[in-house]
Amino acid sequence: MMNAVGIDVSKGKSTVTIRRPGDEVILAPCDIRHTRSGIDALISEIKSLDGETKVCMECTGRYYEPMATWLTDAGLFVSTVNPVLIKNFGDDSLRAPKTDKADSKKIARYTLDRWKKLKQYGRMDETRNQLKTMNRQFGFYMDQKTSMKNNLISLLDQTFPGANDFFDSPARPDGSQKWVDFVYTYWHVDCVAGRTLDAFTEHYHNWCSRKGYNFSAAKARTIYDVSKDLIAVFPKDEVTKMIIRQAVDLLNAASKTVETLRAKMDETASTLPEYPVVMDMNGVGPTLGPQLMAEIGDVTRFEKRGSLTAFAGVDPGKNESGQYAQKSVHTSKKGSPHLRKTLFQIMDGLIQRSPVGDAVYDFMDKKRAQGKPYYVYMTAGANKFLRIYYGRVNEYLASLETNESE
């Protein structure tokens, strides 16, 4: 006897339906609150059923993870399915209602139809879960940092145009940058042009000493000469000073958070077994490596290379009918957008560095020489990279298991 438990998960509650073959309804769609009493009651209800029971839910966002974890810890068979598969699952109806109750019933029918193909939910260990969460936070704060930077540059256009181009020094470990520190002190063009050259040079020299930056008299003169020819829109007063310094403080705060997360992600990723193999791959560094591991998770949960490329949404599409076969088909793009973004950053790095002899770069370069569009050869490179990743990591993990058993 098969019991299919379809769960449509949302924030704070889940809608649950339990069905058996032949459209037999064991539990009509009902809402279960995400409370201890509500979950315990659901677990008791499921465990009281006769026969084999499988629970299925969509892996949408992060809402499903607590529910999947709670039910798995209770000893139930839980399967999480890509929402696209549920959406494309036909339910023999011309109507397509979009309600929690309808969705839970559809998931239950999908469970019965795919009974033998459902896979047990592989709960990521705490480290992988933390790494994935940190990566999502990293992306969020990177967006904030970019927004803060653009905002500061826009304000400087009104007070000190071009001041952000005076220096190209790389960011320090705490995320601070020389040009940002510079405009905090010299927030208006008159902070430079209002002094004599000697006075500014001495002031700039003292500033470099306090901040730990290299001093160059030639650089001081260049900044002074440029500043004397600039026109500011905003006046040099306390209001303008407050606006610029607030913008600097916000940018520094975002930059510090980004660098803290970057370092912590690398530290956390280094505790995972596949870390040395991933970091040894061309195009992967202390930033993109942890991001890649965070979004892929445990690679052993993918049955084959094609499963991983499909998860990333970089698998080649097909469009054939009869004797017709389309030569160029867009990739599915139905997988993780976060993973695709990381892969494209890795491919972009390879293109810029051009490491001749690297299998992925040579493959992309070949496609590019054939006149393939940018997106085509970048996606093809990402696909090849993932296939190499899958093989190397699985081989390494298998060797670790062999060594442990000996």
pLDDT in tens, 336-360: 889 999 999 999 999 999 998 999 9
Minimum mean pLDDT range among 16-30, 240-254, 321-335, 388-402: 321-335
- The identity of residue 218, as a single letter, is A
Contact between residue 265 and residue 246 where contact means Cβ atoms under 8 Å apart: no
d(C-alpha 165, C-alpha 16), whole Å: 58
Portions of the chain given CATH number 3.30.420.10: 2-123
Instruction: Give the per-residue pLDDT at 148.
Output: 97
Token pair in block for residue 253: 């705060």
| pTM (whole model) above 0.75 | yes
Query: How far is the C-alpha of 147 from the C-alpha of 124, rounded, in Å?
Result: 33
- Determine the pLDDT at residue 233: 95
User: Which part of the chain has CATH 1.10.287?
Assistant: 128-269
CA 327, CA 13: separation in Å to the nearest integer? 46
The structural architecture, per CATH, of the domain 128-269 is Orthogonal Bundle (1.10)
Mean pLDDT of 171-191: 95
pLDDT on residue 328: 54
Domain spanning 2-123, CATH class: alpha beta
Angle among Cα 172, 174, 180 to the nearest 5 degrees reads: 65
Amino acid, res. 347: M
Query: Residue 306, SS3?
Result: helix
What value does the mean pLDDT take over residues 83-107?
A: 77
pLDDT for 183 beyond 70: yes
| Per-residue model confidence as pLDDT tens digits over 114-152 | 999 888 886 666 788 889 999 999 999 999 999 999 999
Q: Where are the alpha helices (DSSP H) in 270-373?
A: 275-279, 288-296, 305-312, 337-353, 359-369
Q: Which pLDDT does position 209 carry in this prediction?
A: 96
Mean pLDDT for 310-327 is: 63
pLDDT at 320 over 90: no
Q: Which two tokens stand for residue 250?
A: 């916000």
Mean pLDDT of 351-370: 93
> In b/e form, how buried is each residue of 349-359, taking b as 16+ CB within 10 angstroms?
bbbeeeeeebe
Tell me how far apart the alpha carbons of residues 28 and 23 are, in angstroms, rounded to a whole number.
11
Query: Residue 10 to residues 129, 271, 338: CA-CA distances in angstroms?
Result: 19, 32, 21
Out of 42-51, 227-236, 305-314, which region has the weakest mean confidence (pLDDT)?
305-314
Closest CA to 338 of 287, 292, 284: 292
